[in-house]
Structure 1
């Protein structure tokens, strides 16, 4: 369970209602932890560890901001690997500890033998994709070349036996070398304890890690100044507050356009997890935006709806691709995993004070007017117009897109199916606005179904999901 109370207290220092980049990115970093099944707060703890090493080596001030955001976003490209990792090891939720270690911790030594002959190729493909994708997203966020390069070079090794470019020694960005040490310390301390983390760090000095950075980490550890708020058992609130204090809450104040840019970038992260959800978040956002405008909502409410729609599925990063890409019916445990994602979306977004209303709206996208939805089985009087808009847009998006068990449907089929959910589950006025929008901006869904029986089966699937 995520903790939230301290963050609300922290909001008081932003009395002008503005919002900082560090506040948003540190909150959304929890979504990146979901992607690989890391222990909650992995990115935050890595940030504290890395920045303490940077302080000790007196990293120039102009580099500190780049390192700060590289540490928080180092895993932003990981969702691009999810389907491939799932095919290799059966579960894409693997903790970061280097390619072999990640897989070993899930499969054990016997599993390693099974993929040993292809390990090098798998590493090269998986890490290369993650590196390039991560650097691309960081660039899209406007965080600069140093941050992008640190994210891209995270898995390079000091001895040249890393990825994606087999860089060696000081050819590797200093920021990337710090990130590598920091993430190792957190993963191993969370899984095996602090002493094991330090022992393994020393063992890999000169092979995986920069010997000077290892020396600095060991010195900080011996002086008792490395691990404050950096244990997996420490309060997440305290850890995040310590991370925010490093930025001071005074830099990187965000304008509205920059917030939209961040929402779009993280929507891309979510949609990259499965090729069945490619551009789903953006598609839902476009539909929700059109519905909101068509219903005459004020511009600030239209903007709120679009942002909530972009991030409505961020909690779905917690769902394994073995479930998302499954071609057969989900079992009870798998459905429970799916049904947790709206609540996780809300918990992640509400960690940003000004996002609290957005968090509620985004977290209600699977609720239905008759109380048959999830996660809270809310009824019509409890659901805002904005929540109803996104629910309609999400059902439309789901039916128009390919899924593992069917192709996307044609527009007229989608409307026929959705009309049977109005007004019992879906809001009639929002549905009418969607139909008007789509008829004025025709958009042919990539479907191949044509029979009424097939449409009925799709309707049944929607009702089961609800």
Structure 2
């Protein structure tokens, strides 16, 4: 059996007792920036900006912890509306998000020239001029309705995930109301003035400051804030932000040019009075919540991460891994696709063949997964396992074309579980494959691409599952592995296309 290195084992000792919530969330905020289409470090800088405004406003200490995590997690629902954004614009969902974050919706019938150019250049990019013009006009007519639906999807989902993470209701309400506007023109409830939760008003100012400064500079961010005082933003919070700017306090470690490690350390230093160790079940809950964020990006991957985790955990147990190692495998499987938050829905949901450039983007997502997870020191081994889920024993996998000697038992387990789940699910270009055919396809990849011992363990888990539920041939929905298997009649001719 291939073993992990002794160095990795030393690195991960005490995993469940030496990490705080702020360390995990501040690292995972990078994944949320990818989904939001924001400049790298957006959530961290927004947190610093918002907390400085809160200090100026003398926010009660019992609310500062809630604001801190609301600022870091305000975009956690953004994957939920990514597919709808892609459908609405007919192109990159990140373009729609850019418009949503920058356009002044208090002037609904007067979009800026820059917004119109951005939309025109990106709507249905592969279509002809007539189809593009028709979609462009249709989007303009339905703009208010589209934005209302998208905001509701995002903000309700974000609040629900904060509740799942165990955050208090104050933080959840702040995330849900972050797109409300002072004059009542915002979403999702058209709240006005002080009806909007104070924490949401602070989050709104902070995210505007970072978005605008990243594209147009700090002075422009302050000027735009002034222009929208009393329409978008609470005038008193605008006054405080302007005062902090004038005194040279507002932007410390908040420039995109600042080193990310310095910005993140400044964010972690703010948490010194609230810092607490996480229990193993809390770490599991965080991993599960972010797996939900990943899977919500496309309905074709709904519950995929949980399914891979269930399968991987079952394989690990069947192979006799210790409880700690099996739990490590499960967590790596839950988070293996977190790098897909940086892949546009126009690619993920595409029904036709991907272009070489689109494949290049897809091939990078395991590397991005690894980069996100390795920001958390005790997650370094998990980062390697999760980042290798598309590698194959013969070197035909990606992104690094690793071969058998380079791949640990844990990495091999997650790779087998991922293929098993991917073949079983509906994809844009085919329906899910029934169980017997899934196993038949996988058997042809043994031992060249997939590990034989891991595959045999999977078969034993499936056999035990079948016996437990007394099903004649097909596993039903709600099974221990979490997958309904469909008799699609699909004949796989190109294995890579199935993934």
TM class, shorter-length: over 0.9
SS of the equivalent of 1:296 reads coil
Which secondary structure does the structure 2 equivalent of 1:22 belong to?
Answer: helix
Query: 1:322 corresponds to which residue?
Result: 346
Show structure 1 runs of 4+ deviating over 6 A. Answer: none
Question: 1:460 Cα deviation (Å)?
Answer: 5.6
User: d(CA) in 1 for partners of 2:293 and 2:259?
Assistant: 27
Separation in 2, partners of 1:432, 1:106: 56
1:3 match: none
With over 3 angstroms needed to count, the CA separation of the structure-2 counterparts of 1:210 and 1:276, relative to structure 1, is same
C-alpha distance in structure 1 between counterparts of 2:29 and 2:116, whole Å: 23
- Alpha carbons of structure 1 residues 96 and 139: separation in structure 2 relative to 1, 3 Å: farther
Give runs of aligned pairs for residues 376-395 of structure 1, distance below 5 A: 376-395=400-419
Partner residue in 1 for 2:390: 366
CA separation of 1:107 and 1:392: change in aligned 2, threshold 3 A: farther
Does the residue aligned with 1:161 lie in a helix, a strand or coil?
coil
Native 8 Å contact 2:65 2:274 kept in 1: no
Deviations 1:176-221, CA, capped at 9 Å, x for gaps? 0000000000000001111111111000000000000000000000
Secondary structure of the 1:33 match is helix
1:174 to 176, 198, 208: 198
- Residues 38 and 423 (structure 1 numbering): CA distance in 2 closer, same or farther, change over 3 Å? same
What SS does the corresponding residue of 2:220 show, helix, strand or coil?
A: helix
**Structure 2 match to 1:222:** 246
SS of 1:362's equivalent?
helix
Number of the residue aligned with 1:457: 493
2:103 aligned residue: 101
* Whole-angstrom CA distance in 2 between matches of 1:362 and 1:389: 10
Following TM superposition, by how much is the alpha carbon of 1:248 offset from its aligned partner in structure 2, in angstroms?
1.6
Distance in 2 between the 1:180 and 1:81 partners? 19
CA distance in 2, matches of 1:249, 1:280: 37
Output aligned runs, 1:417-456, within 5 Å.
417-442=441-466, 443-444=475-476, 445-450=484-489, 454-456=490-492
Give the 3 Å change call, closer, same or farther, for CA 49–434 of structure 1 in structure 2: same
Query: Within 5 Å, which residues of 2 pair with 1:160-309?
Result: 160-248=184-272, 251-309=275-333
Deviation at 1:456, TM superposition (A): 3.3
Aligned-residue RMSD, C-alpha? 2.0
Q: Which digits, 9 at most, give the CA deviation of each residue in 1:237-285, with x for residues without a partner?
A: 1100000000028623210000000000000000000000000000000
Does the Cα contact within 8 Å between 1:97 and 1:184 map onto a contact in 2? no
Residue 371 of structure 2 aligns with which residue?
A: 347
Number of residue pairs aligned between Structure 1 and Structure 2? 448
TM-score using structure 1 length: 0.93
Residue of structure 1 in register with 2:50 after alignment: 50
| Distance verdict in 2 for CA 1:390–1:66, change over 3 Å | same
The answer (yes or no) to whether the contact 1:288–1:309 under 8 Å persists in 2 is yes
> 1:74 is matched with which residue?
74
TM-score, normalisation: structure 2: 0.87
Q: 1:191 to 1:140 in 2, by over 3 A?
A: same
In structure 2, the CA distance between the partners of 1:246 and 1:128, relative to structure 1 (3 Å rule), is same
**2: distance between equivalents of 1:323 and 1:209?**
36
CA distance in 2, matches of 1:253, 1:99: 35
Q: Show the counterpart of 2:469.
A: none
How do 1:83-122 residues align onto structure 2 when only pairs under 5 Å count? 83-89=83-89, 90-94=91-95, 95-96=97-98, 98=100, 101=103, 107-108=117-118, 110=120, 115-122=139-146
CA separation of 1:247 and 1:100: change in aligned 2, threshold 3 A? closer
Distance 1:401 1:182, change over 3 A: same
* 8 A Cα contact 2:435 2:485, kept in partner: no
Q: Shift in Å at residue 107 of structure 1?
A: 4.9
